[in-house]
Homo-oligomer: A and B are copies of this chain.
Amino acid sequence: MNIGFIGLGTMGKPMAGHLLRAGHRLIVYNRSAARTADWQGNDSVTVVASPAEAAAQSELLFTMLSDDAAVEQVYFGDNGIMAGCRPAKEAAGLLRLVIDCSTIDPNVSIRTAQALEALGVDKLDAPVTGSKPQAEEGVLTFIVGGKRDVFEKVEPILLLMGKKAVYMGGHGAGSIAKLANNMMVATHLVALSESLALLQKAGLDPVKFLEVVAGGGARSGMAEMKGPKIIQADYEPQFMAALMNKDLGLAARLSDALRVPLPAAAAVKQVFQMACNGGHGEEDMSAVYKCYEQWIGTAD
């Protein structure tokens, strides 16, 4: 199949690679061209100069972008996806389906879906859990919103990049569940950071503590994956703190819109904002620990 892929960053590039290895032809676009350089000259990959061209040449089009603004631009901007849909429709509808894997405001997911459906193109919101390593290994989990029958038809293609795809409901449902998921990730990271800081200030060994945590009810994916990295001060980004701060902002807007008070998520958002303000936004999200680390050395 001719599959378009827009957004070849940390996540998008390995995801597109799985589609290519499965024998699909790729039509790729990235805002900064350097990201597509590796694929220049590959017979199965066409590098195009705009989202509109990607939309015009693809039957199925993925987008994996960093935030609402990027999605707005790529979908609705000059030479955006919407502009590319019209020629496709005139040519008997080459483009059938757009799948947005970006983590964005659910309202933007709904708006892009409505705009595409008005042109006869289906749309799914399908953000993923997992970061760089899971994208590379093809073991992401897709969290899907949109029409159920559309999801069921395309599920085998999602499973080329992931181990699982969970259907959550109509347009925007994938985005909402993704924000709820990331609130948990962020809160678990802050919980880990607070406990590690407290016990290190008390003079205890954080490695031994991770052993305690792993054996009981306090265990978490974050403690397993990020605990040892925090202790080794390895903040090489797998998922940047600034992106998590953005997701927590979206979750706060959803909390406000739905009138569900979330005091812990609110505190966690403030700590991520402090981490970003402290210059750690482009480090891994686990750099939120640096907000606490500074207190360990202070006098009692």
List the interface of chain A (C-beta within 8 A of B): 106, 129-131, 134, 141, 143, 163-164, 166-169, 173, 176-177, 179-185, 187-188, 190-192, 194-199, 201-205, 208-209, 211-213, 215-223, 225, 251, 254-255, 258-268, 270-271, 292, 295-296, 298, 300
**Closest B residue to A186 using CB positions:** B191
Task: Tell me how many chains of this kind the complex includes.
Answer: 2
Q: A169-B204, A264-B187, A267-B264 are in contact. Are A181 and B218 (CB under 8 A)?
A: yes
B169 touches A205 (CB 8 A): yes
Residues of B within 8 A of A182 (CB): 218
15 pairs of residues in contact across A and B, judged by CB atoms under 8 Å: A129-B215, A129-B217, A130-B217, A134-B216, A141-B215, A168-B209, A176-B204, A180-B199, A181-B212, A181-B213, A184-B195, A191-B265, A197-B260, A217-B222, A220-B221
A261 touches B295 (CB 8 A): yes
Residues of B within 8 A of A134 (CB): 216
Minimum Cβ distance to chain B for residue A93 (Å): 31
A260 touches B141 (CB 8 A): no
